[in-house]
């Protein structure tokens, strides 16, 4: 949500800023803007909508673009005020001497605004950021020092921010500040960068400094100074970025989502390579910091997450309860917070997040931490805020996921949860599950090949996608461990195609949703051989009796039952317990091809953000 970039060096700042912003597009945005230092003043360019609109705004100003080597840029996801040009960042103050971009939310902006109005500030936008720009400018008038002004201003601000500011009197300098919003400094030679996330800078440098909360900094082309809240100069370590620029290219695929779906076999292989030597070996989880004695004392597990990560957590509940025999509650982070949740030192709290920056999950984790629970974080971003809150950090290392719709990160979360369930069972010494776990490990090892078998032949799924793309509504049903698959399949479809898709436990169909069934409401049923197979089949009969079109996703269907379905997708043989990891690939592809057929903006669906940094 929102993305910041800043550049100071010898390159053309406009090019670095636009390029950087293009690699932050995945975060979700509805307007964009840049400010360039030029002839001792700032030129500000903004546009509503996509980055291409900003590029067109800038085009006639080549003189400025060629000459300017310092600038800041932003993509905005509207929180305060409409996604208009006037509300787009950078914002400035009355005399246009300061420019500011901001990621986050200023909670006390109304009170600050009232005070500043009394002091003569004139506001043009409805944003909280413009209030911050005036506040910093007001502090600058008192101190004549931008960094000091920033330090004074952030003391008065409540809420979350990553700020990047320039002042016309302080020629070669970008001043930054951070609290509860990501900000990283890219360290170059004779140039430096500031960004909300690594994809914006990875093309230019592999060295970075992460700012901690309440730190401020001064970035020039040859130096970086970071200060703590008290104003002491401190030494944050320079980290080597583990990403390749190639990770943010589409590699010939039409969309990042399709590329990321196709990467899933390797994602699984990659996780297993360091954690599971073979089916007969125990899981290696050095990152898990609880001793087996402490694991034996765990009385309950709480999994907190949002969206797709929440669905992974629901699969996790099923496997952990089945094998490790520990009761697991799974809750949306936004529901976990703001109530007196019951957790103590014998509760294991697992936060799951692709980005590691989801505001609701961060708040929930902090709440659980206060109760003394051991915090496990499963995230794709070992460099994230959530990772820093972890007692045990389990990075899933799926690689940068660019498409807003999560696919390979979900797969990686599932695999980590399977491994965690095995690990907890082994550490608890539950020997009666040894052979079950050994079989499941073998299936995990074979999973990448099965995923790739599915991905090699997608014609059937493409045809089904085309056939059903004109429907306005969809129902997904499943039972047991695939109930979360139904939820996730429906979420994927609605996110990228805007078709009204809902997932239900198949048994719930007759308790209400069945009223909606007719020939205009296709039902997609996930049936895997196992305990609930016959039950789901009966639920399919009930849907068919209401003239609903039926699509089956299954690893087995008897000849006599085939006619029940209008369309069938057969997946390779797999046990019920492991099947969510294969079924989801079908559902991801179906959602993808429907959205693609409808011509939707697959990688950047409307209104969505990759990293949801507001509660």
Contact between 188 and ligand M6R (CB under 6 A)? no
Cα separation, 104 vs 3, in Å, equals 10
Contact between 404 and ligand M6R (CB under 6 A)? yes
Contact between 373 and ligand M6R (CB under 6 A)? no
589: tokens are 């592809």
Shortest distance, position 361 Cβ to ligand M6R, whole Å: 5
Instruction: Report the residue from 195, 306, 349, 364 that binds ligand M6R according to the rule CB under 6 A.
Output: 306
Shortest distance, position 44 Cβ to ligand M6R, whole Å: 31
**Are residues 570 and 554 in contact, defined by beta-carbon separation less than 8 angstroms?**
yes
Give whichever of 358 and 367 is closer to ligand M6R, judged by the CB atom.
358
112: tokens are 């600050």
Query: Binding segment for ligand M6R among 130-138, 271-279, 306-314, 446-454 (CB under 6 A)?
Result: 306-314
Tell me which residues in 521-580 interact with ligand M6R (CB under 6 A).
none
Contact between 308 and ligand M6R (CB under 6 A)? yes
Number of residues counted as binding ligand M6R (CB under 6 A): 15
Query: Binding segment for ligand M6R among 158-166, 398-406, 527-535, 560-568 (CB under 6 A)?
Result: 398-406
Token pair 């101190």 is at which residue?
A: 143
Cα separation, 570 vs 505, in Å, equals 21
Contact between 401 and ligand M6R (CB under 6 A)? no
Shortest distance, position 587 Cβ to ligand M6R, whole Å: 12
User: Quick one: 291 exposed, middle or buried, by C-beta within 10 A (0-12, 13-18, 19+)?
Assistant: exposed
Measure CA of the first residue to CA of the last residue in the chain; give whole Å. Answer: 12
- Write the interaction track for ligand M6R spanning residues 406-425; mark x where CB under 6 A is met and - where it is not: x-------------------
> Peptide bond preceding 90: is omega within 30 degrees of 0, i.e. cis?
yes
**Are residues 221 and 192 in contact, defined by beta-carbon separation less than 8 angstroms?**
yes
Give whichever of 92 and 358 is closer to ligand M6R, judged by the CB atom.
358
Give whichever of 127 and 355 is closer to ligand M6R, judged by the CB atom.
355
524: tokens are 């997609």
Give whichever of 139 and 488 is closer to ligand M6R, judged by the CB atom.
488
Contact between 495 and ligand M6R (CB under 6 A)? yes
Shortest distance, position 387 Cβ to ligand M6R, whole Å: 12
Report the interhelical angle of 483-497 vs 307-324 (nearest 10°).
170
Collapsing DSSP to helix, strand or coil, 391 comes out as: coil
Give whichever of 306 and 324 is closer to ligand M6R, judged by the CB atom.
306
Contact between 307 and ligand M6R (CB under 6 A)? yes
Contact between 387 and ligand M6R (CB under 6 A)? no
Contact between 197 and ligand M6R (CB under 6 A)? no
Shortest distance, position 312 Cβ to ligand M6R, whole Å: 9
DSSP secondary structure of 561-595: GGGG-SEEEEPPP--TTTTHHHHHHHHHHHHHHHH
**Containing H/E element for 335?**
helix 333-336
Count, residues in the chain: 615
Token pair 């990042």 is at which residue?
A: 256
Q: Which residues does 251 contact at the CB level (< 8 Å), separation at least 6?
A: 259
Shortest distance, position 233 Cβ to ligand M6R, whole Å: 34
Give whichever of 283 and 404 is closer to ligand M6R, judged by the CB atom.
404
Collapsing DSSP to helix, strand or coil, 44 comes out as: strand
**Containing H/E element for 19?**
helix 13-22
610 assigned to active site: yes
**Are residues 385 and 370 in contact, defined by beta-carbon separation less than 8 angstroms?**
no
Give whichever of 22 and 409 is closer to ligand M6R, judged by the CB atom.
409
Tell me which residues in 581-610 interact with ligand M6R (CB under 6 A).
608
Instruction: Report the residue from 68, 127, 309, 416 that binds ligand M6R according to the rule CB under 6 A.
Output: 309
Candidates 2, 65, 93, 540; catalytic one: 2
Give whichever of 70 and 364 is closer to ligand M6R, judged by the CB atom.
364
Shortest distance, position 307 Cβ to ligand M6R, whole Å: 2
**Are residues 136 and 81 in contact, defined by beta-carbon separation less than 8 angstroms?**
no
Shortest distance, position 109 Cβ to ligand M6R, whole Å: 25
Instruction: Report the residue from 35, 131, 612, 613 that binds ligand M6R according to the rule CB under 6 A.
Output: 612
Q: Which residues does 93 contact at the CB level (< 8 Å), separation at least 6?
A: 121, 133, 134, 136, 137, 138
Cα separation, 154 vs 368, in Å, equals 27
Residue of minimal Cβ distance to ligand M6R: 307
What's the angle, vertex CA 268, arms to CA 263 and CA 273, rounded to 5? 125
Shortest distance, position 354 Cβ to ligand M6R, whole Å: 4
Query: Binding segment for ligand M6R among 104-112, 301-309, 463-471, 501-509 (CB under 6 A)?
Result: 301-309
CA distances from 218 to 30, 67, 600 (A): 29, 23, 42
Tell me which residues in 327-356 interact with ligand M6R (CB under 6 A).
353-355
Closest residue by Cα to residue 318 from 328, 306, 309? 328
Question: How, if at all, do strands 567-570 and 550-554 pair?
Answer: parallel
Candidates 178, 441, 450, 610; catalytic one: 610
Shortest distance, position 405 Cβ to ligand M6R, whole Å: 4
Distance between alpha carbon 159 and the CA centroid of its chain, in Å? 21
Instruction: Report the residue from 215, 361, 528, 555 that binds ligand M6R according to the rule CB under 6 A.
Output: 361
**Are residues 47 and 32 in contact, defined by beta-carbon separation less than 8 angstroms?**
yes
Give whichever of 427 and 604 is closer to ligand M6R, judged by the CB atom.
604
2 assigned to active site: yes
Token pair 């440098």 is at which residue?
A: 205
Contact between 405 and ligand M6R (CB under 6 A)? yes
* Binding positions for ligand M6R, rule: CB under 6 A: 306-309, 353-355, 358, 361, 404-406, 495, 608, 612
Active site residues: 2, 610
């Amino acid at each position: 949500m929102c993305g910041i970039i800043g550049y100071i060096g010898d390159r053309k700042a406009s090019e670095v800023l636009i390029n950087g912003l293009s690699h932050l597009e995945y975060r979700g945005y509805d307007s964009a803007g840049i400010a360039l230092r030029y002839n001792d003043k700032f030129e500000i360019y903004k546009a509503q909508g996509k980055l291409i609109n900003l590029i067109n705004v800038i085009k006639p100003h080549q003189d400025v673009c060629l000459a300017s080597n310092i600038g800041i840029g932003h993509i905005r996801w509207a929180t305060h005020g409409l996604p208009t040009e006037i509300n787009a960042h950078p914002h400035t103050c009355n005399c246009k001497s300061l420019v500011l971009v901001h990621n986050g939310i200023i909670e006390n902006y109304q009170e600050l605004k009232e005070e500043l109005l009394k002091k003569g500030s004139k506001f043009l936008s409805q944003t909280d950021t413009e209030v911050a720009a005036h506040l910093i400018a007001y502090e600058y008038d008192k101190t004549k020092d931008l960094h000091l002004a920033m330090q004074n201003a952030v003391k008065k601000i409540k809420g979350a921010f990553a700020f990047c500011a320039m002042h016309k009197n302080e020629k070669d300098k970008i001043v930054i500040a951070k609290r509860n919003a990501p900000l990283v400094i890219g360290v170059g030679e004779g140039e430096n960068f500031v960004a909300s996330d690594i994809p914006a800078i990875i093309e230019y440098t592999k060295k970075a400094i992460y700012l901690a909360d309440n730190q401020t900094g001064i970035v020039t082309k040859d130096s970086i100074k970071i200060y703590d809240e008290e104003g002491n100069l401190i030494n944050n370590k320079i980290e080597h970025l583990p990403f390749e620029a190639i990770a943010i290219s589409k590699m010939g695929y039409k969309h990042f989502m399709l590329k990321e779906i196709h990467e899933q076999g390797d994602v699984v292989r990659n996780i297993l390579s360091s954690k599971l030597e073979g089916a007969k070996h125990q899981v290696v989880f050095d990152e898990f910091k609880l001793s087996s004695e402490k694991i034996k004392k765990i009385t309950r597990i709480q999994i907190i997450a949002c969206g797709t990560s929440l669905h992974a957590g629901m699969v996790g509940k099923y496997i952990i309860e089945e094998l490790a025999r520990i009761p697991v509650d799974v809750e949306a982070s936004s529901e976990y917070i703001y109530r007196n949740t019951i957790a103590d030192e014998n509760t294991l709290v697992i936060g799951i997040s692709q980005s590691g920056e989801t505001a609701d999950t961060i708040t929930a984790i902090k709440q659980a931490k206060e109760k003394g629970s051991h915090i496990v974080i499963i995230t794709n971003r070992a460099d994230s805020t959530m990772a820093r809150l972890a007692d045990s950090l389990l990075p899933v290392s799926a690689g940068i996921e660019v498409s807003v719709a999560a696919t390979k990160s979900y797969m990686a979360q599932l695999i980590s949860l399977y491994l965690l369930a095995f690990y907890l069972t082994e550490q608890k010494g539950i020997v009666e599950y040894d052979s079950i776990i050994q079989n499941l490990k073998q299936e995990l090892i074979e999973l990448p090949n099965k995923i790739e078998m599915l991905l090699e032949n997608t014609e059937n799924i493409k045809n089904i996608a085309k056939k059903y793309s004109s429907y306005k509504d969809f129902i997904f049903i499943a039972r047991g461990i695939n109930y979360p698959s139904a939820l996730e399949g429906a979420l994927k479809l609605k996110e990228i195609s805007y078709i009204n898709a809902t997932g239900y436990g198949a048994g719930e169909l007759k308790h209400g949703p069945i009223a909606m069934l007719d020939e205009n409401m296709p039902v997609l049923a996930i049936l895997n051989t196992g305990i609930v197979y016959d039950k789901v089949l009966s639920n399919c009969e009930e849907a068919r009796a209401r003239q609903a079109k039926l699509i089956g996703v299954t690893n087995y269907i008897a000849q006599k039952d085939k006619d029940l379905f209008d369309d069938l997708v057969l997946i390779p043989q797999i046990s019920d317990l492991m099947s969510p990891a294969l079924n989801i690939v079908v559902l991801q592809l179906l959602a993808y091809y429907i959205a693609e057929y409808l011509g939707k903006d697959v990688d950047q669906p409307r209104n969505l953000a990759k990293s949801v940094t507001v509660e």
